[in-house]
Amino acid sequence: MIDRDQQPTPQFQRRCAALAERLQTLPDKPQETAAATLRALWHLASGRAMSVEAAEQTALPVLDQAAEARLADLISRRLSGVPLAHLTGRQRFMGMELLAGKGALIPRQETELLGHAALSVLHGLAAKRQSVVVIDVCTGSANLALALAQHEPKAQVFAADLSEDAVELARRNAVHAGLSDRVELRVGDLLAPFDQARFHGAVDLLICNPPYISSQKVAVMASEISDFEPRLAFDGGPLGVRILQRLIRESPGYLKPGGWLAFEVGHGQGPAVLKRLQAQGDFDRTQTVTDAHGEIRAILAAREAR
């Protein structure tokens, strides 16, 4: 929410109106309105890096001539297609102010659907145990791993990504969030970094936000995504479900009795992926999470304790 004690100045209103005429907001970043974008860039020009949400809660400073020039340059770069989070170096996720950069996909609000559903499951598991083990694969900037660790003190989280650049950003985020002691980062392909006896049949929650865009669709994606964010983070192969299929197949060997698998799916993929998961027979019950349009965007599956 914007600081209601502060009225937008005519200068801000003029810039906002001009920005609104040219700014193209992506559907998966609805929070980045012209006004919110301008506030975030305004703060950045003054020397303070913060997410859109943080900027909306912070009074705008007065800009001197040098800061005005920096703001004009930042607006120009944003209109050229550079993602806002790459300019500010910040992105809010599940209430956490995280670092953002070219090394990993910028966390989206839609992934919070998966995060909150998984956190609810994790709270239930933690209520019955002294500690809970979480593995997050395709971790990217570690937004899910860090959010789960932040909101569930009993969780010991292990996370991995195939991209060394992503894991480097994830490690900086862990330090930034003060969670390095509870979130361990590894580099490797999906579950390969955890193919050790200590993890086999020992994981309470296995979570994943995988690449799920089909390779054919990558060519027609908005340039703000395809030109600036790592293809490895969103290209899910010919049908977009290559990583999801591997995850469903490989995950049962890591989950303890009573453990859960949770993952995000792309638009239109939910019914088929759910059917595939249920047909495999390794899980005793499933649940889905839908978005505001009623579309399945996350699937959770449990192996009942026996």
pLDDT digits (tens, 9 = 90+) for 195-225: 999 999 999 999 999 987 877 787 778 888 8
pLDDT digits (tens, 9 = 90+) for 113-142: 999 999 999 999 999 999 999 999 999 999
* Mean pLDDT computed over 50-60: 95
Instruction: List the domains of the chain with CATH numbers.
Output: 10-88 (1.10.8), 111-302 (3.40.50.150)
Residue 80: CB partners within 8 Å, gap ≥ 6? Answer: none
For the chain, give the percent of residues with pLDDT over 70.
97
CA angle 142, 275, 113 (to 5 degrees): 35
* Mean pLDDT computed over 173-181: 97
Is the pLDDT at 5 greater than 80? The verdict is no
Indicate the pairing of strand 296-302 with strand 285-290. antiparallel
pLDDT digits (tens, 9 = 90+) for 8-22: 788 899 999 999 999
Please tell me the predicted confidence (pLDDT) of residue 306.
56
* Mean pLDDT computed over 266-273: 92
Where is pLDDT greater, at 92 or 242?
Answer: 92
Cα–Cα dist 259/303, whole Å: 6
Cα–Cα dist 161/141, whole Å: 9
Is the pLDDT at 6 greater than 60? The verdict is no
Cα–Cα dist 63/61, whole Å: 6
Q: Is 100 exposed, middle or buried (CB count within 10 Å of its CB: 0-12, 13-18, 19+)?
A: buried
Average pLDDT, the chain: 93
pTM for this structure?
0.93
